[in-house]
A and B are shown apart, each in its own frame.
Chain A
Amino acid sequence: MLNLKRLSRRDVLRVGASGAALAGAGGALALLAPVDSRASQSAGHGTTHPYDPQTGSGDSEHDGHSMSMTVGDVGPDAIGIDPTAYLTTFDYGTASTFPSGQTLREYEIVAYDKEIEIAPGVFFPAWTYNGQVPGPTIRCNEGDRLRIRFVNAGSHPHTLHFHGIHSAFMDGVTGIGRGNIEVGEAFVYEFDAKPFGCHLYHCHSVPLKRHIHKGLYGAFIVNPDPEKHGERARSRHPDYDESKEWQEHVMMMNAFDTTFDGANEVYAVNSVAFHYMKHPIRIERDRPVRVYLINITEFDPINSFHLHANFFDYYDHGTTLEPTLRTVDTIMQCQAQRGILEFSFAGFEPGLYMFHAHQSEFPELGWMSAFEVVE
C-alpha cells in the first residue's frame, strides 16, 4: 500500500512539471531587472571580493539577484591566465621581415593537460593550448606570413585547425594533410594571414566534440590593411592612431560539461562562470568599445549576446568594414560563428551595464557579465 501511495506522488510530480517551466520563465524576467553587482559576492566560503574600489569590500549584504550566482571567487590563475587580463592580451608573435617586405610572425603553441577552475571550487580536467583556456589570442595583420610551431605535450593526438585561408596540408585535421600531431611530436603550420576578420583556431582531432569542449580553442584576429581597404580599416589596425581610442576585448563564449553527459554545467565568456559579474569589465565612457566575439560552445546549437541599455553595430566574421547588422542589442551565433561588435557609452550615466546570453538558461549557469562604465 505504501508504494501505491508513491504512485500518486509521481502524479503530483507530473502536474508540477508544467509549473516548474513557468517558474523558469519568471526567473528569466528577473534577470532583466537592474542588478547592483557590487552586492554580487554571496555568502559562504568566507572569501572576500577583491574588486570593488568604492565600497572597499564585496562582502555586502545579499540583495535580490545577487543570490543567483556562484559562491566565492576563483584563483587569479584559474584558467591559466587572469580572466580579466585575457580580454586584452593579444599575441603578435615574434616579428621579422622577409626581403620581400612581408612580415613574418612566429609563434609557439604547446598542447598539454591541465586542470582549470571554471567556477569557484569547481575544477575541470582540461586540454589546453599553452596552459590556458581559451588559448592565447593570436593576432596579426592581413598578409603577414605566420609560422606556428605546434608541440603536442598532451595525452592524445591534437592539431591546430585555423579558420582562415590556407593549403589543405596545413588544415590541421585528422587524416588530411599533415593530420594528427601525435603525443611528443611537433609541427610548424605556415600560411599567410587572410582574410582579415575575427576568426578562431581549435583542435580538429577526433572525436571532435571531446577535443573542442575539453578546451582546445583560441581567438585568431587578422587586422585589415588600410592600404587595401581604405580609411575605415584604420581603427582596427594598431599601426594607425585611429585605433588608439578603441577599447578592445576578446570574448569566447564557451561552456563545460563537467559530468561528461553531453550537456553543459557551466557557461561563460572566457571560461569562468559569472567572472565578469564579480569583476565587471571597466569601460571608459567616452571611448568606443569593440568586442571580438566568438562562439565555441559545444553541445548547444547556438549561443547569443545581449547588451543592456545600449545597441551595437555587428560585423559578422569581422570580414567586412561595413556592419552586417546595424543598431541591434542581441545577436546569435552557431558554433564557430563569430563577429565584431562596436558600440559606445558616450554620454551614458556611469554604472553597471550587463551583457549575457539571452537563452535564460545560459546566464543562470554562468554566462552573465557586466561592463562598469566610468567617466
Chain B
Amino acid sequence: MSDTALPQPARPAITPLDTSDPELSRWSLKWIGLGLLPLILLAGVLAIIVATDGGLGERAAPPIETLNVQRVTLPELNEIQVSVVNDGPDAITIAQVLVDDAYWSFELDGGATLDRLESTTITIPYPWVEGEAHAIGIISRNGVVFDADVPVAIESPDSDGETFLRFALIGFYVGVIPVGLGLLWYPFMRRLGSGGMRFILALTIGLLVFLAIDMFGEAQEIALSVPAALNGPLLVPVVALLAFLALMTVASRRSDAPRRGLAVAYQIALGIGLHNMGEGLAIGAAFALGEVALGVFLIIGFTLHNVTEGVGIAAPILRDQPPLRHFAWLALLAGGPAIPGVWIGGFLYSPFWTTIFLAIGIGAIVQVVVEVSRIIMRGAERENIPWMNWTTFGGVTAGLAVMYATALLVAG
C-alpha cells in the first residue's frame, strides 16, 4: 500500500496487493519465506524451552504415571487378558499385577516400560470363577495401582465363524428388521392429510432429537475411557460439529429439488445407521463382558425401540412414491450398520473409535433434524399457517415420549 500516497485518481484508494510486483508475487522465495518466518521463530523458541526446561529448572517431582485400561477379556479358562495404553506424559513401568487383592503372575507381550501412548497386553493365568466379579490391579514401578474390572466373568466370544454369524444375526434383529418393519407404515402414512403429515414429520424430529441427546450422553460416557491424551470428551462435540457441517455442505449442493424428499430420507437413514452401529457396539461389548443374561431382553428392547426409526425415515418421502428398491436400501443403510457394530463391539471394542462413530452419528442426526424442519416449514409456508403449531408440538412430544417409553424396555 506504499503507493496510496501518490496521486493516482484512476485507481481506487484501497487496492488489493499488487501482484504484478515481482518482489511480492505468489510463490516467490520471499513470499514463501514470509510464510515460514513465524514457524522458524517458533521452532527456535521451542528449542530454547527444551534446552532450558522452560525456566522451571530440573524436574524434581516424580514422573506422572497413568495407564488406561482399554479392554479386559477372558479368552479361556484360567486366563485373563488386559489391554492397556500409557496415556500419560511420561513413560510407565508395569511392575506387578494383582487379581482380587492377590499378587499374581503375568506375562507382557512386550517390554514392561511403556512410552507415551504405547500399549501392551497383560496375560494373567488366573482361575476366574464363572458368573462372578473380579478386580484387577496393575502396579507401576512407583506403586501406583490402576484398576481394571471383570463385572461378570464369562469366557469371551471366540472370533470363529459361528460367533461371527451369531453376532450378525443379533445386528440384523436389532437393526434391519425393526427399521424395515417401521417402513411398512409407509402406505398407512401416505393416506394422512397435511396435518397428519406434519405430525409425523414432527414426530420424526422428536425421535431424532432424543437419539442425538442419548448418543451425546453415551459418547461422553465412553469418551471417559479414551486415553486422556486423545481428549475424548472434547472430541465428541468437535467431531459432531464437523460431521454436521460436512453433511450440510453435501446437502446444500443438491439442487435437484424433486428428489429432495428421498435425499433427506437417505440422510436420515445414514444418521440412524450410525446410531444403530453405536447400539451394535454396546450390545457386542455387553456380550464380550459376559452380560449374555441381559442379552435377549436387550435385543427385544432395542428391536422395539428401533421400529420407530422406520417411521422417521419414511416421513420425508410421503409425497414422493419412490421405487420399492429404495425402501430396501433405506432399511439396509439405517439398520445394517448394527451388524458391524456388534462385531466390532464383541471382538475389538475400542473406546476411541466408538466415541468417533457416535460423534459422527450425532452430527448426522442434527443435520437431519434441520432438513426435516425445513420440510415442515416449507409445507407450512404453502398452506400459509405458522410452522410451529400444536400439531408440530404434539408430534415432537409424541416422538420424544415414544423413544423414552421404549427406552425403558432396554433398561431391563
Contact = CB atoms under 8 A, between A and B. Distances in A.
B279 A124 contact: no
Contact of A12 (B107, B152, B214): B152
Given A19-B132, A122-B143, A123-B142, A365 B101 contact: yes
A122 B279 contact: no
Given A120-B96, A121-B141, A122-B96, A66 B105 contact: yes
Nearest to A20: B133
A2 B219 CA distance: 10
Interface stretch (A39-47, A185-193, A238-246, A297-305): A39-47
B143 A273 contact: no
A325 interface: no
Contact of A124 (B96, B132, B143): B143
A364 interface: yes
Interface stretch (B41-49, B123-131, B186-194, B254-262): B123-131
Interface string A163-206: 00000000000000000000000000000000000000000000
Contact of B95 (A67, A120, A365): A120
Contacts of A13: 133, 151-152
A4 B407 contact: yes
B103 interface: yes
A334 B108 CA distance: 39
A13 B408 CA distance: 20
Contact of B282 (A5, A69, A123): A5
B96 A119 contact: yes
A68 to B, nearest CB: 6
A274 to B, nearest CB: 7
Interface in A272-323: 273-274
A3 B105 contact: no
A239 to B, nearest CB: 43
Nearest to A30: B127
B400 to A, nearest CB: 13
A254 interface: no
A120 to B, nearest CB: 7
A123 B93 CA distance: 11
Contact of B133 (A3, A19, A66, A68): A19
B32 to A, nearest CB: 51
Contacts of B245: none
B221 A6 contact: yes
Contact of A364 (B102, B134, B291): B102
Given A259-B145, A265-B139, A5 B96 contact: no
Contacts of A26: 129
A13 to B, nearest CB: 5
A4 B135 CA distance: 23
Interface in A1-49: 1-9, 11-13, 16-17, 19-20, 22-24, 26-27, 42-45
Size range of the chain B interface in the assembly: 35 or more
A149 B34 CA distance: 71
B106 interface: yes
Nearest to B411: A4
A5 B411 contact: yes
B144 interface: yes
B278 interface: yes
A366 to B, nearest CB: 6
B217 A123 contact: no
B102 A68 contact: yes
A361 interface: yes
B295 to A, nearest CB: 11
Query: Taking chain B's interface residues, is the majority helix, strand, or loop, or is none over half, making it mixed?
Result: mixed
Task: Name, among A9, A44, A118, A123, the residue most crowded by chain B CB atoms within 10 Å (CB to CB).
Answer: A44
A266 B103 CA distance: 9
A71 B106 contact: yes
Nearest to A68: B102
B410 A1 contact: yes
A19 B106 CA distance: 24
A1 B144 contact: no
Contacts of B305: 1
A66 B106 CA distance: 12
B143 A20 contact: no
Nearest to A115: B142
Nearest to B103: A70
Contacts of B24: none
Contacts of A256: 143
B298 interface: yes
Given A2-B214, A5-B282, A16-B133, A121 B412 contact: no
Task: Name, among B98, B129, B133, B289, the residue most crowded by chain A CB atoms within 10 Å (CB to CB).
Answer: B133
Nearest to A121: B95
A6 B95 CA distance: 32
12 contacts: A1-B407, A3-B218, A5-B298, A8-B294, A11-B412, A19-B131, A23-B100, A23-B129, A44-B106, A124-B143, A256-B143, A258-B144
Interface of B: 62, 93, 95-98, 100-108, 112, 125-126, 129, 131-135, 139-145, 151-152, 214-215, 217-218, 221, 278-279, 282, 286, 289, 291, 293-294, 298, 301-302, 305, 403, 406-408, 410-412
Given A19-B129, A20-B134, A121-B93, 17 more contacts: A1-B302, A1-B410, A5-B286, A8-B294, A13-B152, A16-B133, A17-B133, A26-B129, A69-B104, A69-B105, A119-B95, A121-B112, A122-B139, A124-B143, A265-B145, A273-B103, A364-B103
